[in-house]
């Protein structure tokens, strides 16, 4: 269960905007945290509070396959991301590295910046405490839930390889 | 229910007689690719869980192309991570500077990927190889790390969009870039989200392998999981004496299911330009006013192949680039570079006032070798025009084919070849 304040971004937020390629020569968590979303929300790394929730429009994370994008969001302190829809590679990457995400077109449309949310990713339930509304977002198929339960994809694969 | 080519390749690699759209499968991988940005993160993740063995050293490709030849100390350290890894594991398809090319130009050219393959790569433009009748898709570093360990990956079987390419090109300046920009302009940057784009029709015969590679390269810019062409004589001629393994040809069943159809008529298609800041923001050449440009880039995994160089050189021959404009030409591989030398194209580019770079992704992703200052504008044969993609967040990138790029380098504004004075 995550509780936090909303930051809102629009449609088609691409991975270059989430973390620009000019910072990809240093994949350290500190470098990722420092420059996360800086071309969309100035000084995001300084204004965000740990646990805050990012709400986006359609096709969030489109573009490059860089895993640095969900990593930068995670290490900047964002607890989870809600979007109308996610770009394919970003969706996988978020699951693989353990960044909680929920797709919910209704929630993404109605939630406003600054709203207080309570989110249950496992059940896909989003409660907007400010507006007094609740939404049922998409839940993950059992196979993906196993990856999430393992913490990340490599823990899951390691267990599988070692079992052989 | 019949299957599409994509679904047949996935079924074969999952060891299943058939698969259906939406099904989650685990499939074996033929080639697992990473580069100097994504490879180090994959290696780091493998080390974190204490696994250092790879499933098959001959099925892994690591290409230091993004910030290489290295642009600074940090990128040198990243390249060293994959170089050390490749040495330690005797990785077959590691290409050092000098042999290295832009990965999606290099792998087809060297015959590392071919028809019937299932290829995953930690680079979104891995979808390029669909041009060869392969299933290829981009993923992140952790997925690639998992596949380097296990030789497998999980996939959701995609629905397919049928792209019917019809007619014969009337405008001799169009190529694959215009086909894919037109499609993205029609369906948007998420128009094929999670789906396959399958290219069929009587017009496909007029699309060369280089054009098909360009088209599949940008399938991701419509959100697609993969782009794919069925194998035909053009494919067979390309992979002959090149592909290092046995090609396997798959064809879609007559009753395969498609969620929608899109038609592209080559006979009426005109050169396309994508305006900032999305590849879907396309306009036909000649339908907009003057757009002055500061820089032209010809190259990248989208348009860094031999035909692209030849098309640009044809326009630039005997001409000069506009004052204060920088023309940067980047042949995609050492082989393309050398062929340009043999054909005298390097002379043409340099006599025109352009610079010719060693193969690298460089400016396409704002790495180096042509970064834009605030307020500057570039026209590029690359694949993305996102905010800040080639430099300052307040710079702009326009996308087009190599002919338009070359003509515009001469006039200093986005131009059709007809606007270049004889």
CB pairs under 8 A between A and B: 136
For the segment B72-126, what is each residue's pLDDT rounded down to a tens digit? 999 999 999 999 999 999 999 999 999 999 999 999 999 999 999 999 999 999 9
Choose, out of A25, A69, A73, A91, the residue to mutate when testing the contact with B (most B CBs < 10 Å).
Answer: A25
* Nearest by CB: A154 against B37, B49, B139: B49
The beta-carbon neighbor of B40 closest among A27, A88, A141 is A27
Interface touch A88/B387, C-beta < 8 Å: no
Q: For residue B71, list chain A residues with Cβ-Cβ distance below 8 A.
A: 25
Q: Which residue of A has its CA nearest to B126?
A: A65
Check pLDDT > 80 for residue B422: no
Nearest to B294 by CA among B196, B198, B364, B378: B378
Q: In a 3-state reduction of DSSP, which class is residue B122?
A: coil
Specify the CATH number for the domain of residue A93.
3.20.19.10
Query: CA-based Rg of chain A, rounded to a whole angstrom?
Result: 15
* Full 3-state SS string of B81-107: HHHHHHHHHCCCEECCCCCCCCHHHHH
Q: In sequence order, what are the residues at sequence separation of 6 or more whose Cβ sits closer than 8 angstroms to the Cβ of residue B42?
A: B34, B122, B141, B142, B144, B145, B148
- Residues of chain B numbered 130-149 and touching chain A (CB < 8 Å): 138-143, 145-146, 149
ipTM: 0.94
Nearest to B299 by CA among B219, B357, B338, B349: B357
pLDDT score recorded for residue A96: 95
pLDDT tens sequence across B119-150: 999 999 999 999 999 999 999 999 999 999 99
pLDDT grade, residue B39 (50/70/90)?
A: very high
B312 lies within 8 A of chain A by CB = no
* Residue % of chain B over a pLDDT of 70: 100
Chain B residues 17-36 within an 8 A CB cutoff of chain A: 24
Nearest-CA distance B189 → chain A (Å) = 8
The per-residue pLDDT for B296 is 99
Summarize the confidence of residues A10-34 as an average pLDDT.
96
Q: With cut-offs at 50, 70 and 90, classify the pLDDT of residue A86.
A: very high
> Which pLDDT score, from 0 to 100, does residue A151 have?
86
Closest residue on chain B to A28 (Cα): B41
Distance between A130 CA and the closest CA of chain B, angstroms? 31
Classify B45 as helix, strand or coil: helix
Place of tokens 């965000």: A48
Nearest to A67 among B141, B146, B193 (CB): B141
On the question of pLDDT at B52 being above 90, the answer is no
Against a cut of 0.95, is the pTM above it? yes
How buried is residue B86: exposed, middle or buried, by Cβ count under 10 Å (0-12/13-18/19+)?
buried
| pLDDT for the residue B3 | 98
B123 to chain A: which residues are within 8 Å by CB? 64-65
| pLDDT number for residue B162 | 98
**Residue whose pair of structure tokens reads 């949310």 in the numeric block:** A117
Write the DSSP symbol of residue B321: P
Cβ contacts (< 8 Å) between A92 and chain B: which residues? 139-140, 143
Test B50 with A65 for CB contact under 8 angstroms.
Answer: no
| pLDDT per residue as tens digits for the range B277-294 | 999 999 999 999 999 999
Q: Note whether B339 contacts A: Cβ–Cβ < 8 A.
A: no
Q: B278, A141: Cβ pair inside 8 Å? A: no
From chain A, pick out residues whose CB is under 8 angstroms from the CB of B27.
none
Whether A143 has a pLDDT exceeding 90, the answer reads no
User: CB contact, 8 Å: A50 with chain B?
Assistant: no
Tell which of A61, A62, A73 to mutate to test the B interface (max B CBs under 10 Å).
A62
Q: Which among B145, B142, B33, B43 has a CA at the least distance from the CA of B84? A: B43
Residue A63 contacts B, CB cutoff 8 Å: yes
SS3 content of chain A, % helix, strand, coil (to 5): 35, 20, 40
For residue B161, give every residue at least 6 positions away whose Cβ sits within 8 Å of its Cβ, in sequence order, or none.
B187, B192, B195, B196, B197, B198, B224, B258, B259, B260, B261, B262
Chain A residues with beta carbon closer than 8 angstroms to that of B227: none
- Report the C-alpha gap between A148 and B400 in whole angstroms: 41
- CB spacing of A25 vs B67 below 8 angstroms: yes
How much is the pLDDT for B394? 96
**Total domains in the fold of chain A:** 1
pLDDT tens, residue by residue, B150-179: 999 999 999 999 999 999 999 999 999 999
Test mutation, A29, A65, A101, A141, chain B, max B CBs within 10 A? A65
Of the pLDDT bands very low, low, confident and very high (cuts 50, 70, 90), residue A163 is confident
Range of the structural domain that residue A59 is part of: 2-163
**Looking at the predicted structure, is the pLDDT value of residue B180 above 80?**
yes
**Residues 381-400 (B) with a CB less than 8 A from some CB of A:** 384, 386-389, 393
Give the model confidence (pLDDT) of A64-84 as tens digits: 999 999 999 999 999 999 999
Domains in chain B, ordered, with CATH? 5-265 (3.30.499.10), 275-419 (3.30.499.10)
């Amino acid at each position: 269960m995550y509780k936090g304040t909303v930051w809102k971004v629009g449609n088609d937020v691409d991975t270059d905007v989430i973390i620009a390629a000019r910072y990809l020569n240093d994949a350290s968590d500190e470098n990722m945290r420092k420059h996360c979303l800086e071309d969309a929300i100035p000084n995001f790394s300084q204004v965000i509070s740990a646990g805050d929730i990012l709400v986006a429009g359609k096709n969030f994370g489109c573009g490059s396959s860089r895993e640095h994008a969900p990593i930068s969001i995670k290490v900047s302190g964002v607890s989870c991301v809600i979007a109308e829809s996610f770009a394919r590679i970003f969706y996988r990457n978020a699951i693989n590295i353990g960044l909680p995400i929920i797709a919910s077109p209704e929630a993404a449309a109605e939630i406003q910046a600054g709203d207080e949310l309570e989110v249950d990713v496992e059940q896909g339930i989003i409660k907007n405490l400010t507006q007094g509304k609740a939404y049922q977002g998409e839940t993950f198929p059992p196979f993906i839930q196993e990856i999430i339960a393992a913490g990340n994809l490599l823990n899951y694969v390691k267990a599988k390889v070692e079992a052989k | 229910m019949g299957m599409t080519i994509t679904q047949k390749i996935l079924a074969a690699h999952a060891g299943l007689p058939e698969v259906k759209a939406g099904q989650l499968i685990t499939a074996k991988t033929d080639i697992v690719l990473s580069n100097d940005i994504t490879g180090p993160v994959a290696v780091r993740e493998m080390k974190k869980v204490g696994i250092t063995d790879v499933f098959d050293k001959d099925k892994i490709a690591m290409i230091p192309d993004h910030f290489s030849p290295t642009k600074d100390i940090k990128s040198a350290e990243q390249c060293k991570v994959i170089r050390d890894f490749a040495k330690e594991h005797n990785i077959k398809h590691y290409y050092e500077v000098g042999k290295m090319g832009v990965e999606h130009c290099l792998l087809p050219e060297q015959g590392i990927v071919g028809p019937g393959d299932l290829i995953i790569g930690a680079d979104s433009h891995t979808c390029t190889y669909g041009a060869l009748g392969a299933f290829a898709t981009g993923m992140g570093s952790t997925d690639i790390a998992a596949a380097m360990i296990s030789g497998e990956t999980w996939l959701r079987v995609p629905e397919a969009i049928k792209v019917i390419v019809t007619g014969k090109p009337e405008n001799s300046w169009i190529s694959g870039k215009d086909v894919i920009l037109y499609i993205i302009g029609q369906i948007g940057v998420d128009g094929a989200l999670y789906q396959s784009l399958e290219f069929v029709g009587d017009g496909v015969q007029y699309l060369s392998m280089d054009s098909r590679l360009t088209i599949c390269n940008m399938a991701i810019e419509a959100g697609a999981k993969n782009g794919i062409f069925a194998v035909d004589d053009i494919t067979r001629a390309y992979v002959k004496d090149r592909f290092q393994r046995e090609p396997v040809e798959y064809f879609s069943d007559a009753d395969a299911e498609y969620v929608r159809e899109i038609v592209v008529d080559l006979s009426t298609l005109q050169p396309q330009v994508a305006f900032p800041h999305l590849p879907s923001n396309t306009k036909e050449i000649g339908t907009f006013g003057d757009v002055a440009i500061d820089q032209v880039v010809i190259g990248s995994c989208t348009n860094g192949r031999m035909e692209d160089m030849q098309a640009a050189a044809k326009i630039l021959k005997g001409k000069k680039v506009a004052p204060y404009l920088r023309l940067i030409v980047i042949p995609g591989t050492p082989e393309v570079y050398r062929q340009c030398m043999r054909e005298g194209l390097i002379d043409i580019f340099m006599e025109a006032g352009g610079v010719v770079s060693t193969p690298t992704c460089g400016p396409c992703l704002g790495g180096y070798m042509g970064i834009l200052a605030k307020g500057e504008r570039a026209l590029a044969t690359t694949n993305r025009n996102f905010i800040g993609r080639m430099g300052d967040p307040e710079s702009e990138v326009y996308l087009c084919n190599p002919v338009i790029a070359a003509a515009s380098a001469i006039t200093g504004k986005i131009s059709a070849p007809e606007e270049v004075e004889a």
